[in-house]
């Protein structure tokens, strides 16, 4: 079990890992060894996520979630499988943590009377400045 938040934990059996050749650094091994990891996580089949968290996760993940509801994270930043695997797991955990935090709702406010008066005074000043730029009147 991978503990992500106090109430959300992911079982490693729910994750599917595939190792592929990495486009990133690797030296002479880059064309021989599959060090990049593709981590696949089925959001539809994972029942431990509350529905609101799942919706935020899908929105946050963007293109990384396919039409089949599977979140795919590719990690190829490092030269070794182990570090790329840990990087992918950490990125998945961070994504779920971010989705777990509910956004704070904005309380609509109104400008104060003084703020309205300052705005209108600024508009009057700007209009007067522009009026003075006009062509001079001949007598």
Q: Is the pLDDT at 130 greater than 70, yes or no? A: yes
| Residue 10 falls inside a structural domain | yes
Q: In terms of Cα–Cα distance, which of 56, 43, 51 is closest to 99? A: 56
pLDDT digits (tens, 9 = 90+) for 22-46: 775 666 666 677 777 888 887 777 6
| Residue 49 falls inside a structural domain | yes
| Residue 136 falls inside a structural domain | no
Residue 9 burial (CB count, 10 A) = 11
| Residue 95 falls inside a structural domain | yes
Averaged pLDDT for residues 106-128: 95
CATH code, domain carrying 64: 3.30.160.20
Percent of the chain with pLDDT over 70: 82
| Residue 88 falls inside a structural domain | yes
Q: Compute the CA torsion angle 79, 82, 84, 88 (nearest 10 deg).
A: 180
| Structural domain of 91 | 2-100
| Residue 105 falls inside a structural domain | no
Domains identified in the chain, total number: 1
Cα atoms in the 13 Å half-sphere on the side-chain side of 89: 18
| Residue 22 falls inside a structural domain | yes
| Residue 23 falls inside a structural domain | yes
Averaged pLDDT for residues 116-138: 90
């Amino acid at each position: 079990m991978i503990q992500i938040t106090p109430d959300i934990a992911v079982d490693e059996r729910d994750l599917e890992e595939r190792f592929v050749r990495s486009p990133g650094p690797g030296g002479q091994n880059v064309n021989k060894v599959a060090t990049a990891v593709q981590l696949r996580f089925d959001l539809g089949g994972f029942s431990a996520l509350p529905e609101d968290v799942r919706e935020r996760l899908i929105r946050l993940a963007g293109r990384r979630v396919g039409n089949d509801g599977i979140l795919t994270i590719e990690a190829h930043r490092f030269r070794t499988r182990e570090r790329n695997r840990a990087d992918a797991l950490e990125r998945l955990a961070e994504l779920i943590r971010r989705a777990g935090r509910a956004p704070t709702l904005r309380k609509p406010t109104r400008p104060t009377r003084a703020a309205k008066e300052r705005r209108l005074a600024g508009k009057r000043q700007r209009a007067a400045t522009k009026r003075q730029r006009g062509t001079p009147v001949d007598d």
